[in-house]
Amino acid sequence: MKNHVLTAIAVVAVLAVAANAGTISGKVSGVAGESVVYVDTITGKAFPAPAQHPVVDQKGLLFQPHITVVQAGTTVDFLNSDSVAHNVFWTSVGGNKKLGHNLGTWPKGEKRSFKFDTPGAVPLLCNVHPEMAGYIVVSPTPYFARTDKSGDYRIENVPDGSYSVTAWHEGAKNQSKAVSVSGDTKADFTLSK
**Rounded least distance, CB 58 to Cu ion, Å:** 6
**Rounded least distance, CB 136 to Cu ion, Å:** 16
Residue 56 CB partners (closer than 8 Å, separation 6+) = 63, 64, 65, 68, 76, 77, 78, 79, 124, 134, 136
Q: Pick the closer one to Cu ion by CB: 129 or 146.
A: 129
Distance from C-alpha of 34 to C-alpha of 23, rounded to nearest angstrom: 19
**Rounded least distance, CB 92 to Cu ion, Å:** 19
Instruction: List interacting residues with Cu ion (CB under 5 A).
Output: 86, 126, 128-129, 132
Q: Pick the closer one to Cu ion by CB: 109 or 183.
A: 109
Preceding amide of 159 cis, omega within 30: no
**Rounded least distance, CB 99 to Cu ion, Å:** 21
38 in Cβ contact with 47 (< 8 Å)? no
**Rounded least distance, CB 132 to Cu ion, Å:** 5
Report the residue number whose CB is nearest to Cu ion: 126
> CA separation (Å) from 140 to 8, 13, 47, 112, 188?
39, 30, 9, 23, 20
Q: Pick the closer one to Cu ion by CB: 27 or 86.
A: 86
Q: Pick the closer one to Cu ion by CB: 76 or 187.
A: 76
80 in Cβ contact with 106 (< 8 Å)? yes
Q: Pick the closer one to Cu ion by CB: 60 or 171.
A: 60
